[in-house]
């Protein structure tokens, strides 16, 4: 399950929001884990954030996609 973002920063921001909600170490003591997952560039030049374990809003649940295509690492 993925949420798709236009920019990498948008995906990172959503991951950090989830990290705050979960009380990850970075947000409690200023060091340690900050993000839950990192977005990856897709073949269509968008950013896919894995969100299997996220607490999603209804809007996000409607926007989730099950599969994405990533670029061939040998071509990058």
Q: What is the pLDDT of residues 2-61, one digit of tens each?
A: 999 999 999 999 999 999 999 999 999 999 999 999 999 999 999 999 999 999 999 999
Q: Are 49 and 11 in contact (CB under 8 A)?
A: yes
pLDDT confidence of residue 33 = 94
Distance between CA atoms of residues 20 and 60, nearest Å: 17
DSSP 8-state assignment for residue 65: B
Q: Rounded to two decimals, what is the model's pTM?
A: 0.89
Sheet holding 47-50, edge to edge: 2-5, 47-50, 40-41
Distance between CA atoms of residues 45 and 54, nearest Å: 23
Q: Are 40 and 47 in contact (CB under 8 A)?
A: yes
């Amino acid at each position: 399950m993925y949420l798709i973002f236009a920019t990498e920063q948008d995906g990172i921001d959503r991951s950090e929001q989830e990290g705050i909600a979960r009380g990850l170490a970075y947000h409690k003591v200023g060091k340690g884990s900050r993000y839950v997952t990192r977005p990856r560039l897709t073949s269509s030049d968008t950013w896919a954030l894995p969100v299997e374990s996220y607490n999603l809003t209804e809007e996000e649940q409607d926007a989730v996609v099950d599969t994405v295509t990533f670029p061939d690492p040998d071509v990058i």
